[in-house]
């Protein structure tokens, strides 16, 4: 579905149109933005990432759709991808998807004249700097730093995978620089017997490869929610009508989330999930010395923000 977003703000003849792409493990989002002194979002399009076979062809199709339905023709694109971007920013293999994205290939075979690839948590790092204080929800009574103080910040977010980024202040240019990271693939550290039991469950029941350590992403992600729920149910062996419904939904994290306020097992699942989230955030804060706070981003945090706001 293509959605048009009209702005009452007048634009200058020097403003340019850009194609903005957010390629996640589950969904891919495309948007047209008019960028000048400010940025205006004009139109958006969303599709399942699993439907993409050749990304270059998908970009061409999306551009044709925007031009036909909205008369919008961008010449440059920024593409944020869940994966490690090459040092020259020309290609990236999305972590949880089968295709590869090649910037040169896109420029050579579509109307676009320029393409920049970014890590998926590098991009929102830049976006965070544009947020007002009234656009951020604070967890556990945190306070945003004063405008004249520019400490290091960090951003994390669970979705199909687990993203992490760091915002460091560039004093020479007077702005934050967003640094990419693949910290979500760091090793999960066993803290107690409960953690050890969960790790053993992931190896023995879920079937993760025992030759590799469990990653934070294996737990802090959509599939992680499903795994935590199944592990807790195995330990409790408690049957219920709600469990039958969740099982029928193949332990979809959205189905589990729907019962987090009414079902004890679902509630406990998200209690564990939030605790693991907190531990990961602590490690990120220590590793980056993020005195400017940790931002929680991504669809999962937004959909279950009540879990975090409860403390």
Residue at token pair 């007048």: 10
My answer on whether 219 and 142 are in the same domain is: yes
The answer to whether the Cα torsion of 106, 111, 117, 120 is positive or negative is negative
- Mean local confidence (pLDDT), 139-147: 64
Mean pLDDT of 43-58: 96
What 3-state DSSP class applies to 162? Answer: strand
Residue 285 lies in a domain: yes
Same structural domain for residues 100 and 220? Answer: no
Same domain, 68 and 173: no
Element (H, E) at 219: none
Domain count across the chain:
2
Give yes or no for residue 98 having a pLDDT over 60. Answer: yes
Distance of alpha carbon 253 from alpha carbon 276, whole angstroms: 16
Amino acid 25: pLDDT: 87
Tell me, yes or no, whether 78 lies in a domain: yes
**29 is a domain residue:** yes
CATH number at residue 301: 3.40.367.20
Q: Which of 120, 154, 176 is the last residue of a domain?
A: 120
Decide if pLDDT at 237 tops 80.
Answer: no
The rounded distance, in Å, linking the Cα atoms of 162 and 184 is: 5
Residue 239 in this model has a pLDDT that exceeds 90 = no
Q: What is the 3-state secondary structure (H, E, C) of 58-69?
A: HHHHHHHHHHHH
Residue 128: what pLDDT? 85
pLDDT grade, residue 300 (50/70/90)?
confident
154 shares its domain with 42:
no
Report the CATH number that the domain containing residue 112 is assigned in CATH: 3.30.420.40
Whole-angstrom Cα distance, residue 227 to residue 99?
26
Cβ atoms within 10 Å, residue 279: 17
Residues 207-227 have pLDDT tens digits of 999 999 999 999 999 999 999
Percent of the chain with pLDDT over 90: 71
On average, the pLDDT of the chain sits at 89
Angle, CA of 89, 90 and 94, to the nearest 5°? 85
User: pLDDT grade, residue 11 (50/70/90)?
Assistant: very low
Residue 65 reports pLDDT greater than 80: yes
Torsion sign over Cα 134, 137, 141, 143? negative
Last residue of a domain, one of 120, 152, 178: 120
Residue span of the structural domain in which 280 resides: 133-311
Number of other residues whose CB lies within 10 A of the CB of residue 1: 6
Instruction: Report the DSSP pairing between strands 153-158 and 114-119.
Output: unpaired
CA nearest to 274, candidates 226, 296, 307, 251: 307
* Confidence at residue 1, expressed as pLDDT on a 0 to 100 scale: 31
62, 88, 120 - which closes a domain = 120
CA angle 44, 38, 152 (to 5 degrees): 95
Record the tokens describing residue 211, joined without a space.
Answer: 């030759």
Question: What gap in Å lies between CA 284 and CA 278, rounded to an integer?
Answer: 10
Residues 13 and 102 in one domain: yes
Distance CA 246, CA 226 (A): 10
The token duo for 104 is 């040169």
Residue 145 pLDDT exceeds 70: no
The answer to whether residues 23 and 75 belong to one domain is yes
127 assigned to some structural domain: no
Q: Quick one: average pLDDT of 65-83?
A: 94
Question: Is 194 in the same domain as 306?
Answer: yes
- pLDDT tens sequence across 268-286: 999 999 999 999 999 999 9
Cα(80)–Cα(88) distance, rounded to whole angstroms? 15
Q: Does 126 fall in a domain? A: no
Q: Is residue 220 assigned to a domain?
A: yes
Say whether both 176 and 97 belong to one domain: no
Residues 147 and 268 reside in one and the same domain: yes
Verify that 97 and 138 share a domain, yes or no.
Answer: no
User: CA nearest 70: which of 4, 1, 145?
Assistant: 4
User: Both 61 and 144 in a single domain?
Assistant: no
Residue 13 has pLDDT above 50, yes or no: no
Region of poorest pLDDT, from 92-96, 135-139, 231-235: 135-139
Per-residue pLDDT, 4: 33
pLDDT digits (tens, 9 = 90+) for 15-46: 699 999 999 988 999 999 998 877 889 999 99
| pLDDT band (50, 70, 90) for residue 236 | confident
């Amino acid at each position: 579905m293509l959605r048009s977003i009209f702005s009452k703000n007048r634009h200058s003849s020097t403003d340019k149109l850009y194609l903005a792409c957010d390629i996640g493990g589950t969904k891919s989002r495309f948007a047209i933005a008019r960028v000048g002194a400010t940025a205006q979002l004009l139109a958006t399009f969303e599709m399942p990432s699993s439907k993409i076979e050749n990304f270059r062809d998908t970009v061409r199709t999306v551009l044709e759709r925007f031009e036909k339905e909205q008369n919008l023709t961008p010449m440059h694109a920024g593409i944020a991808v869940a994966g490690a971007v090459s040092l020259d920013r020309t290609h990236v293999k999305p972590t949880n998807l089968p295709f590869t994205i090649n910037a040169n290939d896109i420029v050579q075979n579509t109307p676009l004249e320029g393409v920049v690839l970014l890590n998926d948590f590098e991009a929102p790092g830049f976006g965070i700097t544009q947020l007002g204080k009234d656009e951020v929800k604070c967890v556990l009574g945190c306070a945003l730093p004063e405008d004249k103080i520019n400490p290091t910040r960090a951003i994390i977010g669970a979705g199909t995978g687990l993203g992490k980024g760091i915002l460091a202040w560039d004093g020479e240019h007077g702005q934050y620089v967003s640094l990419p990271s693949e910290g979500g693939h760091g090793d999960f550290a066993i803290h107690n017997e409960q953690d050890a039991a969960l790790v053993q469950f992931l190896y023995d029941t879920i079937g993760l490869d025992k030759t590799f350590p469990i990653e934070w992403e294996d737990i802090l992600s959509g599939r992680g929610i499903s795994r935590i729920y199944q592990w807790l149910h195995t330990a409790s062996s408690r049957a219920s009508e709600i469990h039958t419904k969740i099982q029928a939904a193949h332990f979809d994290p959205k189905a589990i989330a729907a019962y987090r306020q009414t079902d004890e097992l679902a509630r406990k699942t998200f209690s564990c999930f939030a605790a693991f989230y907190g531990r990961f955030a602590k490690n990120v804060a220590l590793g980056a010395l993020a005195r400017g706070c940790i931002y929680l981003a991504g669809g999962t945090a937004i959909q279950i923000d009540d879990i975090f706001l409860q403390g």
